[in-house]
Structure 1
């Protein structure tokens, strides 16, 4: 019976659901950054962003995608990094980056899609068609409807060899070599592929961490900006670049978690946002 309902009904229903989610999350209702000094407040998974800067829609070596979600705001340090990183990628003949979600206008928690990306220091960069195709500015419709190229199969937990691009390790090595970069998250199968290719020349891969998902994009996380005492840093990476910790991601235990047979840790109570975030939310 439901399959016979007209398409316009489902579009209206989806719009109402999205509006309901936004109403439950005031961070999604605000479209403009606060007029405050830039500050990343709290942690990557529980924080907010004061004085955000919008990332330009396009520039040398990059193009924003899915801009209709209004998740292209960042700490000014992140904007500077992305522009410099994209320029370096382009000038080495490695193509044009497609930059996806960063943060909302004032950071804060998303209703869906991310646990991190809350203080303007996390960026998703797609495995991109622009690495292979003729580069040109995308139309607004294309920006919101273009698809990324998956390099790993989530169900099989394995690399999609026909989609592999030899530029991926070069681009990730460029990012990892930047002192501002704290971590880079990729699918475990992608990390294993790069470890195999790197051999003993793998010290740079310590920053590249395997994590659930991340099969169609890599996730760059910047360190707390210098002098920003409101930003809580992560612990330094202690594992080897390509050690036994990578093997765990292909163990029976990890695969059981992936299949939903075993929960990923105990459910945790959502912590309160830092008190400063109330001022960010209410600021002009």
Structure 2
């Protein structure tokens, strides 16, 4: 029996078996798959609920950059992201602003992480350290160094203050290069870093519109790209609203925020839901991405 119907049924049956078997091998099947799929590149779904087909692995080192934390196996992206990171690194180096150290991107087929990120799921997000040991940045790192050297924090997360002794004056110029690139949708930084850059920029602050304050991000900034052109499987994020240095930034330094940060905010009792909330379903194409054959080296 070799009809097209039989072939389709056999493919469906194989896919279902794999979907049942992979979770048995790992709590998170997306972390169990170590190679990109042999499909065309596509960012599927949303930044916090999606996957990545046809991913490209970021080189360990290139003009103006090198990778760190490679042991986490999170250095894959849509080719659109890889191209941007290479262009961005080149521009940073050409402007004599140092060498970028690039951390987490996405896993080989995107998807959710067991820990560390809610986003980074469809190959369009990357974490980049604010500053680092200059001597380490200028030479190839050993595999041990890539996973063990430390970034330099720009802010104290608990006290929510800028660590002025660690402030790198190159940071605003580096972030401006990224922000003014039309491929970039957002850049997430620690609120104190955003406030510092607003103080420095004065009225020349339109480029800071894309730079958004967010939890954490005291030792790295997070670049998020817009959906690649013609990628119809990608769910875009709305453009940032409001003035570049007003509005939402104030809340991060309010009494309400400090109460939340220090665990002293009053909590209102919440009614117990009749049923536990369901996790959002992943796009249907992600089942095919997860089980597709690996791309050839």
**Same fold flag (TM > 0.5):** yes
Pick aligned residue for 2:118 from 115, 119, 126? 115
Distance 2:124 2:228 in 1: 9
Q: What is the CA-CA distance between 1:270 and the residue it aligns to?
A: 2.2
Q: What is the CA-CA distance between 1:21 and the residue it aligns to?
A: 11
Number of equivalenced pairs: 263
Deviations 1:149-202 (A, max 9, x none): 100000100100000010000000000010000000000000000000000000
Distance 1:229 1:21 in 2: 32
Distance 1:209 1:38 in 2: 28
Distance 1:109 1:137 in 2: 30
Q: How does 1:71-86 map to 2 (within 5 A)?
A: 71-86=74-89
Pick aligned residue for 1:44 from 43, 47, 53? 47
Contact 1:95 1:132 in 2 (8 A): no
Q: What residue number does 2:284 align with?
A: 275
Query: 1:24 is paired with a residue of what secondary structure?
Result: coil
Distance 2:131 2:25 in 1: 29
The verdict on how the C-alpha distance between 1:71 and 1:22 changes in structure 2, with shifts beyond 3 A counting, is farther
Q: What is the CA-CA distance between 1:131 and the residue it aligns to?
A: 4.9
Q: What residue number does 2:11 align with?
A: none
Q: What residue number does 2:168 align with?
A: 165
Query: 2:26 is paired with a residue of what secondary structure?
Result: helix
Q: What is the CA-CA distance between 1:22 and the residue it aligns to?
A: 7.9
Pick aligned residue for 2:205 from 191, 202, 205? 202
Distance 2:134 2:42 in 1: 34
Distance 1:21 1:127 in 2: 39
Contact 2:88 2:177 in 1 (8 A): yes
Q: What is the CA-CA distance between 1:257 and the residue it aligns to?
A: 2.3
Distance 1:212 1:22 in 2: 33
The verdict on how the C-alpha distance between 1:201 and 1:105 changes in structure 2, with shifts beyond 3 A counting, is same
The verdict on how the C-alpha distance between 1:233 and 1:260 changes in structure 2, with shifts beyond 3 A counting, is farther
Deviations 1:115-152 (A, max 9, x none): 00000000000122145766111011000111111000
Q: What is the CA-CA distance between 1:256 and the residue it aligns to?
A: 2.2
Query: 2:113 is paired with a residue of what secondary structure?
Result: coil
Distance 1:219 1:179 in 2: 16
Deviations 1:79-137 (A, max 9, x none): 00000100110111100000000000000000000000000000000122145766111
Distance 1:202 1:22 in 2: 50
Provide structure 1 residue ranges, at least 5 long, that are not aligned to the other structure: 1-19
Contact 2:92 2:99 in 1 (8 A): yes
Distance 1:76 1:104 in 2: 13
Query: 1:98 is paired with a residue of what secondary structure?
Result: strand
Deviations 1:222-264 (A, max 9, x none): 000000010000111112100121111111222222234458x
The verdict on how the C-alpha distance between 1:31 and 1:261 changes in structure 2, with shifts beyond 3 A counting, is farther
Contact 1:95 1:130 in 2 (8 A): no
Contact 1:46 1:116 in 2 (8 A): yes
Larger Rg: 2
Query: 2:159 is paired with a residue of what secondary structure?
Result: coil
Supply the RMSD in Å over aligned alpha carbons. Answer: 1.8
Distance 1:75 1:89 in 2: 21
